[in-house]
Amino acid sequence: MLRAKLSAVPVLALAAAMLGACSSTPDDATAAWSPNKIYAQARDEVAAGSYDKAIPLFEKLEGRAAGTPLAQQAQLEKAYAHFKAGDQAQAIAALDRFMKLHPASPALDYALYLKGLVNFNDELGPFSFLARQDLSERDQKAAKESFEAFKELVARFPDSRYTPDAKARMTYIVNSLAQYEVHVARYYFQRGAYVAAISRAQNALTDYQGVPALEEALFILVRSYDALGLEQLRDDAKRVLATNYPNSDYLTRGFRSAQGPWWRIW
């Protein structure tokens, strides 16, 4: 009998320890809060830049206000908080989930716009990107995904308040993608890989129309054909360059004619 009592002591001690651990777990400070209070607190944290504190509050709000417009708002604002915190993957995941769950939401245009911005990797604000880094130096996969989100927004919501900015960003992205091809073409040319330079310059000319980067693409063709001794092709490319850009500095000053990224002249 004594042995049985002794053997039970460790079990009782373990149970007491587990209960003590549970009792030391901090209570949920929001347990008695209304959904509106949680939302207000989360917004305050966002305003203060405390995105790590705002995100769990939005998550709680999703559960507390499930099935209501406030829950949908929480999902969108959580995505925005992830975006501002620099967590692009979580922001995109939250937006994709929102659009899947709420395909008829009146805020769908904003969700598409925010998805475009996340991939665009820029700050919110109409046309703020015009004074920022050349997108052609950034991740081209993200740029293409950004373009697709903006394209869907423009097609589905032509009267949205976000559409004008989306259109401007689409133009910017197309120009940057063309400029990326030209960057690569110039890289190959400067290293003597003239065939590769011609290929990338032709890609820009074929895939993009009416963008500023095509002027340099044509110049790279002229120089590359000349380096390869292909005089007829060189003269043809030079004639196209002179016809389309009669005042081109590339014809007289070469690569030094560049006056900075194309987007700074807007």
157-212 pLDDT tens trace: 999 999 999 999 999 899 888 988 999 999 999 999 999 999 999 999 999 988 99
Q: How far is CA 173 from CA 57, 114, 176, in A?
A: 35, 16, 5
Angle in degrees, 0-180, between the axes of helices 140-156 and 108-120, rounded to the nearest 10 = 160
91-149 pLDDT tens trace: 999 999 999 999 999 999 999 999 999 988 754 344 444 444 444 455 578 888 999 99
Choose among 211, 202, 262, 210: nearest CA to 236: 202
Other Cβ atoms less than 10 A from the Cβ of 33: the count is: 17
Q: Give the model's pLDDT for residue 256.
A: 56
- The domains of the chain are located at 36-86
Separation of alpha carbons 47 and 50, rounded Å: 8
DSSP class of residue 265 equals: G
Q: Give the model's pLDDT for residue 26.
A: 60
Q: CB–CB of 138/121 below 8 Å?
A: yes
Helix (H) or strand (E) holding 253: helix 250-253
Amino acid found at 246: P
Residue 233 confidence class, pLDDT cut points 50, 70, 90: very high
Q: Give the model's pLDDT for residue 4.
A: 45
List Cβ neighbours of 185 (8 Å cut-off, separation of 6 or more).
Answer: 197, 198, 199, 200, 201, 204, 217, 220
Is the model more confident about 14 or about 192? 192
38-49 pLDDT tens trace: 999 999 999 999
17-34 pLDDT tens trace: 444 444 434 677 888 899
